[in-house]
């Protein structure tokens, strides 16, 4: 009997044991969209996502990967020695050595003839330039024109196929808060798309380029993005990605495409850019100047020098005038006036609004070329270069400038002067004043004037094959 009961209990346990077994969980869950965590995303979100995808599909094929190899001269140890040791080692300088540097960047095709827009710093001094298309084909690129002052360059490839092209938009119409899409090749990762917003417009004073009017965006821009397009939600190019703030995140800068539109035709036609010239030195209007000049607000550009026989001099502009309007546009600051003047067609007659002795005036000025003899050899009306430190300097000869050299050349040194006592000599080329690179006589004189306030000045001088620093006290 007992054996029978044990048997019955065993049968019952076997019957209910499967029901006690833990249910096995699936390895992963695959959505059939009906099981998606979010059942119905808003139409607005789906529309934005569709715009991003459409921009990637339509524009990405026109974005190219650019690699350039340049040859850089290696500075020899003897080139930084004092003038006393330089004489000892003269004739012992080793043969100049060079190193090859490779730069990576992006660009975008602007027409079916193979013209590509990129940054000047991506292809500058490039001996060989390779352009990789979205179909992985690689072509040799040739620099057609470049402009360091805006950091824009145009290169060309001779493709054997029909090329996809990017469509340019209107950067003047973008607003802070609008979507921004960046496409490029960061760190060599081909055709990467990032998304953000327009963070700010009209950024200047960054010290990146001569003419700055940057679009700021938080769309991720990294090394290798330079030269790639910044797009709006319609897939139109509104900027050229060009710079980042290394110490921050989400701070990138792009050149407005409207600025590029003014530069590109000149680069293609003649390889360079001709800019307008007024013939004034200007400085910011500070709160202190507002008070002392009796102005309403810190706006405009204060004229601190007028060049002899310049358009400004002929128009009647004087030292101490505050320019508040130019060619029908309000002048916000120094940088804006520089851009407006540079972008004005040569020989155009424009209206200039200014404040003089607390009264508003209107003058008419005919813009000249910054490449004209008057501009190249311009001098402030109240400065005589020959008396500055006992030095007489002139612009560099054209053949030296053609080789990319900048600065001024010493044509004479007054005996017994501070400059003569420091060791400066005739035919020296002054490259920088107090560690600030100079390009012409105007910048040299400005640098010396600023140095006079501190009581000392240091010149970086090129003599023969050597670079030498000369320092002197001014009082």
Q: Which residues are catalytic, by number?
A: 121, 151, 226
Q: What are the helix (H) ranges across 271-366?
A: 287-293, 311-315, 334-343
Residues facing residue 326 across a β-bridge: 329, 352
Q: What are the helix (H) ranges across 316-381?
A: 334-343, 373-376
What DSSP state is assigned to residue 247? T
Cα–Cα distances in Å, from 379 out to 306, 336, 339, 342? 8, 23, 22, 19
Q: Which residues of 137-170 are buried (b: 16+ CB within 10 A; e: fewer)?
A: eebebebbbbbeebbbbbbbbeeeeebbbbebbe
Q: What whole-number distance in Å separates Cα of residue 22 and Cα of residue 9? A: 22
For residues 456 and 418, is the Cβ–Cβ distance under 8 A?
A: no
Strands (E), 170-265: 179-184, 192-203, 214-217, 229-231, 237-244, 252-256
What DSSP state is assigned to residue 307? B
Cα–Cα distances in Å, from 406 out to 59, 72, 75, 233, 432? 40, 17, 18, 43, 9
Burial (Cβ within 10 Å: 0-12, 13-18, ≥19) of residue 57 = exposed
Closest CA to 396 of 409, 385, 383: 409
Burial (Cβ within 10 Å: 0-12, 13-18, ≥19) of residue 275 = buried
Residues facing residue 139 across a β-bridge: 131
Closest CA to 440 of 376, 383, 381, 389: 376
Q: What whole-number distance in Å separates Cα of residue 413 and Cα of residue 143? A: 41
Q: Which two tokens stand for residue 242?
A: 């060009």
Strand duo 436-437 + 408-413: pairing = unpaired
Q: Tokens 């044990």 map to which residue?
A: 6
């Amino acid at each position: 009997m007992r054996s029978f009961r044990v048997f019955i209990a065993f049968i019952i346990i076997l019957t209910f044991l499967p029901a006690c077994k833990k249910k096995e969980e699936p390895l992963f869950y695959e959505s059939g969209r009906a099981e998606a965590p979010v059942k119905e995303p808003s139409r607005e979100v789906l529309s934005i996502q569709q715009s991003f995808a459409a921009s990637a599909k339509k524009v990405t094929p026109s974005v190219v990967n650019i690699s350039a190899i340049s040859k850089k001269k290696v500075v020899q140890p003897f080139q930084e020695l004092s003038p006393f040791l330089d004489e000892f080692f003269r004739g012992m300088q080793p043969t100049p050595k060079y190193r090859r540097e490779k730069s990576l960047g992006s660009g975008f095709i602007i027409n079916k003839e193979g013209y590509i827009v990129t940054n000047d710093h991506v292809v500058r001094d490039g001996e060989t330039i390779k352009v990789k298309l979205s179909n992985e084909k690689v072509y040799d690129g040739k620099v057609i024109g470049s402009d360091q002052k805006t950091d824009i360059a145009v290169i060309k490839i001779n493709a054997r196929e029909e090329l996809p092209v990017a469509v340019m938009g209107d950067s003047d119409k973008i607003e802070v808060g609008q979507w921004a899409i960046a496409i490029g090749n960061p760190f060599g990762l081909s055709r990467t798309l990032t998304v953000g917003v327009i963070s700010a417009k009209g950024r200047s004073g960054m010290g990146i380029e001569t003419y700055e009017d940057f679009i700021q965006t938080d769309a991720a821009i990294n090394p290798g993005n330079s030269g790639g397009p910044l797009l709006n939600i319609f897939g139109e190019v509104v900027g050229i990605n060009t710079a980042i703030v290394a110490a921050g995140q989400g701070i990138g800068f792009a050149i407005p495409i409207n600025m590029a539109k003014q530069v590109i035709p000149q680069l293609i036609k003649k390889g360079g850019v001709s800019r307008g010239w007024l013939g004034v030195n200007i400085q910011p209007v500070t709160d202190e100047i507002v008070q002392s000049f009796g102005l309403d607000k810190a706006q405009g550009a204060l004229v601190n020098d007028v060049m002899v026989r310049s358009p400004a001099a002929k128009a009647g502009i004087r030292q101490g005038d505050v320019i508040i309007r130019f060619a029908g546009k309000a002048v916000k600051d120094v940088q804006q006036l520089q851009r407006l003047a540079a972008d004005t067609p040569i020989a155009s007659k424009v209206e200039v609004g200014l404040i003089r002795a607390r009264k508003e005036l209107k003058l008419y000025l005919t813009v000249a070329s910054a490449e004209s003899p008057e501009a190249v050899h311009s001098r402030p009306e109240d400065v005589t270069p020959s008396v500055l430190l006992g030095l007489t300097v002139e612009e560099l000869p054209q053949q030296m400038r053609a080789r990319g050299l900048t600065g001024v050349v010493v044509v004479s040194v007054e005996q017994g002067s501070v400059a003569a006592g420091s060791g400066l000599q005739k035919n020296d080329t002054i490259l920088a004043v107090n560690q600030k690179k100079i390009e012409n006589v105007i910048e040299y004189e400005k640098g010396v004037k600023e140095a006079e306030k501190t009581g000392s000045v240091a010149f970086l001088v090129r003599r023969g094959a050597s670079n030498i620093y000369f320092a002197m006290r001014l009082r």
